[in-house]
Structure 1
């Protein structure tokens, strides 16, 4: 019941907006306007400590509100409101209208209030570990909420927080390839990645001759070292090498007591374990991680589409694709990324690593095409190609996918056994999502097939080797579905969409017992978040949390221990759970 109370309280906070008071209640974090809020002199001293890299936050929509409307700047803000780069380059705003909660939407001006709302009040542009140490110590000493923002991909609202000091790690861009790393359990090529490294940073044109691959996201702008890896991290390379969390050899972090340490199998091994899949922003501040790297080589890619011209036939074709995934699942490294809507199906990308010819990617699809022909389904945009390396394949397939900043999502891991034994129930649930969401803007279902079993990737998948949700090892594919929102969507529309996502997530849970969810593509107010996001690892993760962060400095939604330490009050501040 406590976790439901936290979700309800947070819902009330987002509906009500953020306020402030002249005195903070006991046992609560301070907000601007409180008598105890750090003085300008205290902030100036912090700024000096971090070399002038403290940034006072400004709402993105400020130019569109009185007083002082700037029509030209407001027009630019509106035009760029859904651009990824808007949020990548901003130190505090996140790619989620739900978590910015219309506190200063440029489409709601010029009258009314423009406030930061749920967004951090200050941010440190973290350039090194000592900047993070300074931020951690300042937050502890001044009873200020601390948040961590990397790139801003944040469906669960973990990188946002009213009145917080944000540690903005996006500019930690170190990429160092090591020809030979020697550790406790691994000897071979590796890469050291700063916390702000994105997929595009791994494969710049001038470095493509290095002949190394590194497991990173299918979305080029997601930060590899942040919530992606700490939440598990699936990739187009996962069926060959495993999840991103399976790759980590060591972490460079700053802990809640302001210490700069290395966590590895031989040092702080419990923290090392927890950071590999146990959730982002909750145990320590990641400065960098060192991961396995693999020899690069030729990669084959494919894609196709078919339209929904007859509902019964269309969903029979979708069912046939899921059955065929059970065949593709047995092929070493074969990955499929697909989108299902009420209008049609698209295989956005398929990948066959270390391919010798196009036939390595198109050949395994031939039996499925025969089934489509038997159903009288016409395939369009059918393509296959061979590429000299992984980066070239990514540019041609995954790199062409456009991602929206203006939506909310839910998701589910789909076990192999469900596709084998109860496919009609699964397809009925997916059809319901695709066809019965027009009142909230429609929904696309996106999936990526994975095979990260012990049999495929070895010891990294052994139960207990990492904090990765065990349901990943049984999953045939992961899927998410979202609610696209209009630029000027009202708060009630966002809230209605969030309820709809949870309702459909619940229906998927009913037909996928034990399936779990990829926590980075899920809802913050899932009443079953402990089971769905952490599974049997929860209590062990709670012990790590209590050891390294006993006061709960790193608080995040639906994170281990979050319901037992702090909860948001009606004015946005965090208060201790009584």
Structure 2
């Protein structure tokens, strides 16, 4: 991008345009995963939908590469593109709640913390992730699961409408009644179809929840996983619990004597009567005596933000995921093996439940193609030291390759790694892929928005 093109962009747009020679450039190109080191020719901070429309027109008409950044949590760094333009929605970070209709509208650059805080004031929430720093946009467009999924479904299941800037620079609102094909695609199809400048969600009564954390030593991990795979799918919808392998963090509520120990455990979230949380979790002892068990009533936004300081922005990340409809005995053996070989204190594996309410949506009602999956798994190699980048990547790849034969074949699109094949994208969308490709042809026939887990436009005719 030459100087005259850059100045033309600065003249056309209201928000800041940051280039490599500007003092704030390195800060502007920084994303959550420090393993990503891409250098856009310009980063455009869009203040409103008008800015986004102008930015899209600008990059399209000049044949520039473009990426879209919401919260910047993309593990593969798909929100940045070398030598192109990043449309940065972070200035559009806001949330408005209507307590009468129990809905929330949030800007395209908002984080889950923005949404959680605004809704909590009215005793409301919508299911969305497990960290408050995650961007609403990327999470929702990928489908979105979290602490409330068994009770209220996926994030995308609670999306009522979306304002979208299209590849031709036009602006539409997509919902069940308007641009219904686009609305279908946005609920799980990723960032392939346009730039979403605002989302409107259905909210549900959630205020104080029962938090639980139960940990077992690694010698019990196989018994625990066999118990977990049977217990949770039969539990009330009010109980969510994701299984993790981890090194115990050094701090409360964990006693000092277990800090740093490798363990397996479950993080529980109970949305029923908080006085019943211990009663509901009494069966955890059926898996064997826990090394640690903790419960407490907690405001929902506090649960959503409790991992923020443990895994802040600026760490090295490499992840891969898969969907599972069962946890086989052979898969349990793989989990036990790689838990023993956890390469760093922050590296982990999570199994998120995506059953109960998420199973009550029709298989073809949204672009999310795995309504028959029971767990969404992710293997994350994490460490602050760039010198360990290859170590954590190799552990995650080896773990995934050994576990993948026990999976359903596809993955939550936000858990697909940067170096995985296009076949993984097709496997993720199953027989929805052709419909998504046809919708892509309608709304983005030239594939302007391809800095993503890309769905190529179907051929014309």
TM-score (norm 1): 0.70
Please say if residues 346 and 381 of structure 2, whose CA atoms lie closer than 8 Å, have aligned partners that are also in contact. Answer: yes
Distance 1:516 1:48, change over 3 A: same
Alpha-carbon distance in structure 2 between the residues aligned to 1:519 and 1:409: 12
Q: Give 1:162-173 correspondences, 5 Å limit.
A: 162-173=82-93
Please say if residues 215 and 235 of structure 1, whose CA atoms lie closer than 8 Å, have aligned partners that are also in contact. Answer: yes
Q: Give 1:189-200 correspondences, 5 Å limit.
A: 189-200=102-113
Alpha-carbon distance in structure 1 between the residues aligned to 2:288 and 2:166: 54
Residue 278 (structure 2) aligned to one of 351, 354, 362: 362
Residue 202 (structure 2) aligned to one of 292, 297, 303: 292
Residue 353 (structure 1) aligned to one of 271, 276, 291: 271
CA RMSD of aligned residues (A): 2.9
Displacement of 1:196 in angstroms is 1.5
Distance 1:403 1:46, change over 3 A: closer
Secondary structure of 1:315's aligned partner: helix
Secondary structure of 1:534's aligned partner: helix
Alpha-carbon distance in structure 2 between the residues aligned to 1:390 and 1:424: 34
Secondary structure of 1:202's aligned partner: helix
Alpha-carbon distance in structure 1 between the residues aligned to 2:12 and 2:71: 24
Please say if residues 303 and 346 of structure 1, whose CA atoms lie closer than 8 Å, have aligned partners that are also in contact. Answer: no
Alpha-carbon distance in structure 1 between the residues aligned to 2:311 and 2:391: 25
Distance 1:238 1:506, change over 3 A: same
Displacement of 1:303 in angstroms is 1.3
Deviations 1:221-244 (A, max 9, x none): 0111x1100001111111111111
The answer to whether structure 1 residue 176 and structure 2 residue 96 are counterparts is yes
Alpha-carbon distance in structure 2 between the residues aligned to 1:120 and 1:402: 26
Deviations 1:284-338 (A, max 9, x none): 0110011101123442221122223xx4x4433343333333333xx12311133
- Rg comparison, structure with higher value: 1
Alpha-carbon distance in structure 2 between the residues aligned to 1:50 and 1:392: 37
The answer to whether structure 1 residue 324 and structure 2 residue 231 are counterparts is yes
Match of 2:441?
546
Match of 1:124?
44
Please say if residues 91 and 149 of structure 1, whose CA atoms lie closer than 8 Å, have aligned partners that are also in contact. Answer: no
Match of 1:236?
147
Alpha-carbon distance in structure 2 between the residues aligned to 1:42 and 1:58: 15
Alpha-carbon distance in structure 2 between the residues aligned to 1:402 and 1:443: 10
Distance 1:371 1:293, change over 3 A: closer
Displacement of 1:485 in angstroms is 4.2
Alpha-carbon distance in structure 2 between the residues aligned to 1:266 and 1:412: 33
Deviations 1:372-400 (A, max 9, x none): 14xxxx432x222234x5335545x5566
Secondary structure of 1:530's aligned partner: helix
Please say if residues 249 and 264 of structure 1, whose CA atoms lie closer than 8 Å, have aligned partners that are also in contact. Answer: yes
Match of 1:278?
189
The answer to whether structure 1 residue 511 and structure 2 residue 406 are counterparts is yes
Alpha-carbon distance in structure 1 between the residues aligned to 2:202 and 2:53: 27
Residue 445 (structure 1) aligned to one of 349, 367, 381: 349
State how many pairs are aligned: 444
The answer to whether structure 1 residue 143 and structure 2 residue 63 are counterparts is yes
The answer to whether structure 1 residue 435 and structure 2 residue 435 are counterparts is no
Distance 1:61 1:412, change over 3 A: farther
Residue 418 (structure 2) aligned to one of 520, 524, 527: 524
Displacement of 1:497 in angstroms is 5.0
Q: Give 1:298-337 correspondences, 5 Å limit.
A: 298-308=208-218, 311=219, 313-328=220-235, 331-337=236-242
Displacement of 1:515 in angstroms is 5.1
Please say if residues 162 and 199 of structure 2, whose CA atoms lie closer than 8 Å, have aligned partners that are also in contact. Answer: yes
Secondary structure of 1:41's aligned partner: helix
Structure 1: segments with no counterpart, 5+ residues: 1-31, 33-38, 63-86, 101-117, 181-187, 566-578
Alpha-carbon distance in structure 2 between the residues aligned to 1:251 and 1:476: 28
The answer to whether structure 1 residue 466 and structure 2 residue 366 are counterparts is yes
Alpha-carbon distance in structure 1 between the residues aligned to 2:302 and 2:380: 29
| Greater Cα shift, 284-293 or 343-352 | 343-352
Alpha-carbon distance in structure 2 between the residues aligned to 1:247 and 1:495: 38
Match of 2:177?
266
Match of 2:3?
40
Please say if residues 441 and 485 of structure 1, whose CA atoms lie closer than 8 Å, have aligned partners that are also in contact. Answer: yes
Please say if residues 363 and 369 of structure 2, whose CA atoms lie closer than 8 Å, have aligned partners that are also in contact. Answer: no
Secondary structure of 1:411's aligned partner: strand
Deviations 1:66-119 (A, max 9, x none): xxxxxxxxxxxxxxxxxxxxx9xx43232234431xxxxxxxxxxxxxxxxx32
The answer to whether structure 1 residue 202 and structure 2 residue 107 are counterparts is no
Distance 1:43 1:437, change over 3 A: same
Alpha-carbon distance in structure 1 between the residues aligned to 2:341 and 2:376: 21
Please say if residues 153 and 358 of structure 2, whose CA atoms lie closer than 8 Å, have aligned partners that are also in contact. Answer: no
Alpha-carbon distance in structure 2 between the residues aligned to 1:298 and 1:97: 34
Alpha-carbon distance in structure 2 between the residues aligned to 1:217 and 1:288: 18
Please say if residues 212 and 294 of structure 1, whose CA atoms lie closer than 8 Å, have aligned partners that are also in contact. Answer: yes
Please say if residues 122 and 164 of structure 1, whose CA atoms lie closer than 8 Å, have aligned partners that are also in contact. Answer: yes
| Greater Cα shift, 238-247 or 493-502 | 493-502
Distance 1:296 1:486, change over 3 A: closer
Match of 2:36?
99
Match of 2:291?
379
Structure 2: segments with no counterpart, 5+ residues: 248-260
Distance 1:325 1:294, change over 3 A: closer
